[in-house]
Structure 1
Amino acid sequence: MTIDEAIDKLNDISIYFIWDPKGEEPYFEKYKTKEKVKFNHYQGIYTNERKDYGFDEVIEAATEIENVKILGKGRLRTKSYAFQIVNPVNKNAIAYKYKPPKDKIQTTLNEIKVSIESSSLIHSVAIIDKQLTSRMSPMSEYPQVVQINFGDKNPIDEECNHIINSFLFELENTYDLKFEFLDYNHPHPGPSFNINDFPREKEFNQLEVIARKISENQLPDYNTQAIELYLNSKHTDNEEIRLMLLYKVFEYFGPIVIKLETQEELAKKLSNPKVNDPDSEYLTSIIELVTKYNKRSNDLGMLKEVFKKCIDLEIIKGELPSYLSKTLRKKTDFTELKTRVAQSLYSTRNSIVHAKSNYESEGNECKAEELSQFNKFLSLAASQLIKWHKCLPKHQR
Structure 2
Amino acid sequence: MLVSKSNIELINQRLEYLYDNFNIEPSTEEVQIGDEDIFIGFPDEWDEANSDYSVEDFLRYTEGLDNIQVIDNHSVIVGNIRQTIISVNEYYYEYWVPDLKFETEKYSLRIISNPFLIGIIASRDGIYNEDFGVYPCSDYKVVEIVYKKEKPSEEEDIEFIKTCLYYIASKYDVPISIGEFRSWDDITDEENDATIIVGSSELIPYCRAMDYYIEGLSIEKEDIKYLHLYKIIEYFSPIVSKKASYEQLNKRLDALQVVERDSEYLESIFKLTKQYEVSLKDKELANTVLNECVDIALLFQFLPDKIQKTLSKSCHFEVKNIASLSSSTIEVIKKEIADILYATRNSIVHAKSNYTVTGKECSEEDLEQLNEFMVKLCECLFVWNGRQSKEFQLK
TM-score range, shorter chain: 0.3 to 0.5
TM-score with structure 2 setting the length: 0.47
* Structure index of larger Rg: 2
Where relative contact order (Cα < 8 A, 6+ residues apart) is larger, the structure is: 1
